[in-house]
Amino acid sequence: MASLRLGDTAPDFTQDSTQGPIRFHEWAGGKWVVLFSHPADFTPVCTTELGKTAALTTEFARRGVKPIAVSVDPVDSHKAWVNDINETQNTTVDFPILADADRKVATLYDMIHPNSLANATVRSVFIIDPKHTIRTTLTYPASTGRNFDEILRVIDSLQLTDSHKVATPANWKDGDEVVIIPAIQDPKELAERFPKGFRAVRPYLRLTPQPNK
């Protein structure tokens, strides 16, 4: 199948997991979802990533986000791996890990690339909104652990820009100034939407304090 693109509906599926069978769209409900893949169980970098995800449980919950992992190994292997993750990363994995032995999810989400081993998923991240729309995709090489600060930053940006007519500039973090989108030109609308005012660096580059702060 063709690669998934931003704006596509995240494919639905039913698959077993460490928390029992999951029907993806039903499980997601009206929440944001971070779906991320792992090449295999008992791999060192992924062990740190799953531990970090578990450590960020409160941060994900505060944003209304449900994390879910996928690996091509079976459930029994996942559960044994979770014990290792909890012990070595000093945390408690409380999110599901999909057991994708038949590669259903890996295939639906184009996680097995032609130049990789047939049983090794690439290290992909999908940020999916409450309408099941894919909003962000990230793909990392096997040697590089994912940056979860960046994943949270992207979620913060998406949630902010969905609710206000702004965009976020380079290296933006929650609380920084944001960019007013060029489509807003009417002075009355600008005053209503941005009562804290704004500074025009250029006519097309207008910065304003973050509206929801």
- Pick the catalytic residue from 46, 111, 127, 128: 46
Q: What is the CA radius of gyration of the chain?
A: 19
Q: What are phi and psi of 198, to 5 degrees?
A: -155, 165
Contacts of 100 (CB under 8 A, 6+ apart): 15, 70, 71, 72, 106, 121
Whole-Å CA distances, 78 to 65, 101, 110, 119, 122 = 22, 11, 21, 16, 18
Catalytic, 46? Answer: yes
**CA 172 – CA 210 distance, rounded (Å):** 11
Q: How many CA atoms lie within 13 A of 83 on its CB side?
A: 5
CA angle 174, 138, 113 (to 5 degrees): 175
Q: Judge contact between 42 and 84, C-beta under 8 A.
A: yes
**H-helix or E-strand spanning residue 196:** none
Residues marked active site are found at: 46
